[in-house]
A and B are shown apart, each in its own frame.
Chain A
């Protein structure tokens, strides 16, 4: 199986070369590249599923006879995330097949590399291969974010993205170095010698910063709301659905698996705190954003936060020797990772379809698309329902498990941890509610109401491959939502790797039980109940309705007839995106988001309209990016002085450094 996966990786690299060879020859390269990527994603999903069902194959070298011992392995954890990557990648490639066939060569060749980098990260069985894959993934996705680089905002997004990618590399390389202090970089050897004391603390800080920056955990999330809108839709689906999960995988692999099971309770606290902060901040921002893809990116921050809470909780439970609860928390994280990958890919692809059809990402220029794009609307409704964690859909199962685990956190004896867990539980609940509000706003603004622009009125569903790319994740979202028990059993290998415990006896087809049998979630039963209720309501309504339906124009609140140039009504007569977000902005925005709002009145006698200006600022801009930019400027001013050195002094710098390093080696040897 690993041989097949290595060959798939090699095939993806060859696909990346193809567009460069075909430059300027007019070959249909797009179809080949995206078709190949679809095949590769299907192989990833199939191998992941086979390894989950049939057991892990033995580790194997990536390339026989390469100069570095690059080991591949496929244990339960890798297989779970590989399945996720395969499913999200298949949807994305299918969508690209119908919409991005004519993309420029730099996009076409970066796309398979992006997939290959993610897969290599998941398959790595040693630190070097992990970093190689991770950095490949970062660089390829940077090229994709910078795809549309004519616009200044996209250039800015790509630059910020690259800075964060480099920063996470800078954090992860020393973390791997500290883990491999025994000189062996394979994970098996690292597990034998888990870090302790200051080394453990340094590893924790570096991994949380490095992988957290890629996943979008809170102080390091600034790139997400910028990079996702900048990238093409199928890429942002893959970045949000799969890449953040690959970062979560690195987090889980390095903090829960490789560092060994004997870590103290505080090991999970950073993940809990940052996860809770991400969840609330992401969900809050999702309610305020006016660009649909930025909104989805913020919702990704929220969901990544929830997954991080699950992982942190699993660490703490494991340290407190509460194996069953640890498995519950880890299961919640794994389940939510898979489900989020699917429904977030679905939402990004759906809004990509909207971008194609209605030519805008801004909610204020959409509206009424449910009539123009019924397929897309139905699929996005499923995705939005899952993101709002409505019960029979897939988003609910993971969040319910997570809240159950949080509510059981009092069983960890430490008082400080209990207080923290209560706070985190409140934040997670708040985030879930805010996410639901954000999804209502998204769907309502984009698909309901009346078209706000002529272009939105003339939109149409995409071709069949694109519709399939929406229907596939929508169907999976429903199926996984109905079958969380079997999915948890499937994740057994992953849970074994994370917490050395599984939840098989708690998860059946019909229900998941937590605790001592009191709490149980029966998705199929709930779905049946909802179906019966819905059918009854439909029946009653049909029965009481007069026969024959008459359609007439919607009542427009008594406003005058729309002007000539706005045949679909003045958009101002409908709620705007900022207006829908206003109550939450005023209530919750102020301590964190520095909300400002002001009315500019024209002077008396001036007939121009009064203007209301409202906005907010992300705290990471003010507290993290601005100080860093000042620091950079200070450093640059200092290094500028180096340019005034004479030639001999310039030569002296590297020479002096070399001699100093040699002297350091000599001194270390002499000790």
Chain B
């Protein structure tokens, strides 16, 4: 399976789409839009997993795809919207780093991950797997970048889950990954979402805000500001 066959091209397209959505997540200025972009990323991820299941002939990947659709494209975005609506939160994203610099950093990170993955896997795996691993690493790094450059707790939770999308993308790309790994990863996502939700509620309850830059004033050792 090389460049030019439909199997390769579609898989590449879907993987690239997931990465593109990571960029989209980075430059949104409103939280609703961030949640929408995250839902689309989840759907694309599910499509990528399903396509991989089709071309690898692995039934387990369909399970992954279904989990991704249900959890990431529907349930988690709905829950996040519910949180937003219930708290009547301010809808604007307050980036700690401006949109321009974070996009530049993102491009640099994608370049770095391509430089890392492609030479290491040279001659050891299929072209598709190598490309997908590079894409997955990029998505992971961009998720981390998003966690760092956003000050809003909801954006940070979304960054964490988009990072996790990258992990799933990498896992489905590798032929022969056992189903149990994917299932446990999916369980991990659920836990992350729950923990993230609890943390968000706690922050909101204690500090009356979701801006995490308020947190470092309230760490117990210093007198409260």
Residues of A within 8 A of B (CB): 643, 645-648, 651-652, 655, 658-659, 662-663, 665-666, 669-670
Residues of chain A within 8 A of B219, CB atoms compared:
643
- At the interface, yes or no: B215 with Cβ under 8 Å from chain A? yes
Say yes or no: A665-B213 contact (C-beta < 8 A), given A648-B151, A651-B144, A655-B145: no
Report yes or no: A663 in contact with B112, Cβ–Cβ below 8 A.
yes
List 18 additional A-B contacts (Cβ < 8 Å) besides A666-B115, A669-B115, A670-B119: A643-B219, A643-B221, A645-B216, A646-B216, A647-B212, A647-B216, A648-B151, A651-B148, A652-B148, A655-B144, A658-B141, A659-B109, A662-B113, A666-B112, A666-B116, A669-B116, A669-B120, A670-B115
User: How distant is A652 from chain B, measured CB to nearest CB, in Å?
Assistant: 6
- A646-B144 in contact (CB<8A): no
* Contact among B112, B115, B119, B147 with A651 in the assembled complex (CB-CB below 8 Å): B147
The residues of B that contact A666 with a CB separation of less than 8 Å are: 112, 115-116, 119
Q: Could you pull out 7 A-B pairs where Cβ atoms are within 8 angstroms? A: A646-B213, A648-B96, A648-B149, A659-B141, A665-B120, A669-B115, A669-B119
Contact of B116 among A643, A652, A655, A665 (CB under 8 A): A665
- A664: nearest chain-B partner, CB-CB: B116
Report the Cα distance A464→B40, complex, angstroms. 77
Residues of B within 8 A of A658 (CB): 141, 144
Interface centre among B115, B145, B219, B221, by most A CB within 10 Å?
B115
Q: Which residues of A contact B141 (CB under 8 A)?
A: 658-659
Contact of A655 among B96, B148, B212, B213 (CB under 8 A): B148
Residues of A within 8 A of B116 (CB): 662, 665-666, 669
Give the most central of A647, A655, A658, A659: most B CB within 10 Å.
A647
Known A651-B144, A655-B144, A670-B119; judge A662-B213 contact (CB<8 A).
Answer: no
Distance in angstroms between the alpha carbons of A643 and B215 in the assembled complex:
13
| A647–B213 touching, CB < 8 Å | yes
A-B pairs with the 3 shortest C-beta distances? A669-B119, A666-B115, A646-B216
Which one of A648, A651, A669, A670 has the greatest number of beta carbons of chain B within 10 Å?
Answer: A648
| B6 → chain A closest CB, angstroms | 31
Q: Residue among B120, B145, B216 with the most chain A CB within 10 A?
A: B216
Q: Which residues of B contact A (CB under 8 A)?
A: 96, 109, 112-113, 115-116, 119-120, 141, 144-145, 147-149, 151, 212-213, 215-216, 219, 221
Given the complex, which residues of B lie within 8 Å of A655, measured CB to CB? Answer: 144-145, 148
A652 to B105, CA, bound (A): 13
Closest Cβ of chain B to A511, distance in Å, is 63
* Nearest chain A CB to B17 CB, angstrom units: 23
Q: Which residue of B lies closest to A645 (CB)?
A: B216
Question: Once the chains are docked, how many angstroms separate the CA of A9 from the CA of B216?
Answer: 51
Bound together, the chains give a CA A651 to CA B145 distance in angstroms of 9
A666 CA to B109 CA, complexed, in Å: 12
A340–B96 Cα gap in the complex (Å)? 67
Which chain A residue shows the least CB distance to B216? A646
B213: chain A residues within 8 A (beta carbon): 646-648
Q: Which residue of A lies closest to B109 (CB)?
A: A659
Contacts of B148 in A (CB 8 A): 648, 651-652, 655
Which residues of chain A have C-beta atoms less than 8 A from B215's C-beta?
646-647
**Docked CA distance A580–B17 (Å):** 84
Q: B215 to chain A: closest CB distance in Å? A: 6
Bound state CA distance, A349 and B120, in angstroms? 57
Q: Given the known inter-chain contacts A648-B148, A648-B151, A655-B148, please indicate yes or no for A662 contacting B112, CB distance below 8 A.
A: yes
Give min CB distance, A660 to chain B, whole Å: 10
Bound-complex Cα distance A669 to B213 (A) = 39
CB distance from B9 to the nearest CB of A (A): 27
Cα distance A652–B213 in the bound complex, in angstroms: 14
Identify the closest chain B residue to A663 (Cβ).
Answer: B112
| Closest Cβ neighbor of A655 among chain B residues | B144
Complex CA–CA separation, A67 to B213 (angstroms): 45
**Across-interface contacts of B147 in A (CB, < 8 A):** 651
Task: Compute how far the CA of A651 lies from the CA of B147 in the bound complex, rounded to whole angstroms.
Answer: 8
Q: List chain A residues, Cβ under 8 A from B145.
A: 655
Residue of A nearest to B108 (CB): A659
How far, in angstroms, from A659 to B149 measured CA to CA in the complex? Answer: 15
Interchain nearest-CB distance for A39 vs B (Å): 37
Distance A645 CA – B144 CA, assembled complex (angstroms)? 18
CB A647 to nearest CB in B, in angstroms, measures 5
The CA-CA distance from A655 to B120 in the complex, in Å, is 21
* Bound Cα distance from A663 to B96, whole angstroms: 24
Residue of A nearest to B120 (CB): A669
Which residues of A sit under 8 angstroms from B113, Cβ to Cβ? 662
A575 to B119, CA, bound (A): 77
Distance of A657 from chain B, by nearest CB (Å): 11
B112 touches A659 (CB 8 A): yes
List, in ascending order, chain A residues with CB within 8 A of B216's CB: 645-647
Q: How far is the CA of A670 from the CA of B215 in the complex (A)?
A: 42
- Give chain B residues whose Cβ lies under 8 Å from the Cβ of A647: 212-213, 215-216
Most chain-A CB neighbours within 10 Å: which of B141, B148, B151?
A: B148
Docked pose: A658 CA to B213 CA in angstroms: 23
Least CB distance from B142 to A in Å reads 11
Q: State the Cβ distance, B134 to closest chain A Cβ, in Å.
A: 12
Hey, which chain A residues are within 8 Å of B149, CB to CB?
648
| Nearest neighbor of B222 in chain A, beta-carbon distance | A644
Min C-beta distance of A51 to chain B, whole Å = 39
Question: Smallest distance from the beta carbon of A463 to chain B beta carbons, Å?
Answer: 52
- Which residues does chain A contribute within 8 Å of B120, judged by CB atoms? 665, 669
Tell me the smallest distance from the CB of B192 to a CB of chain A, in Å: 15
CA distance A659 to B145 in the complex (A): 11
CA distance A648 to B155 in the complex (A): 13
Residue of A nearest to B159 (CB): A651
Query: Which B residues touch A648, using CB under 8 A?
Result: 96, 148-149, 151, 212-213
In whole angstroms, how far apart are the Cα atoms of A416 and B136 in the complex?
61
A643 to B221 alpha-carbon distance, docked (Å) = 10
Given the complex of chains A and B, what is the CA–CA distance between A658 and B163 in angstroms? 14
Among residues of A, the one whose C-beta sits closest to the C-beta of B122 is: A669
Chain B residue at minimal CB-CB distance from A661: B116
A467 to B151, CA, bound (A): 72
Query: How far does the alpha carbon of A361 sit from the alpha carbon of B144 in the complex, in Å?
Result: 59
Query: In the complex, which residue of chain A has the Cβ closest to the Cβ of B213?
Result: A646
In the bound complex, CA of A659 to CA of B148 (Å): 13
| Whole-angstrom CA separation of A652 from B148 in the bound complex | 6
Please name all residues of chain A whose beta carbon is closer than 8 Å to the beta carbon of B109 when the two chains form the complex: 659
Residues of B within 8 A of A663 (CB): 112
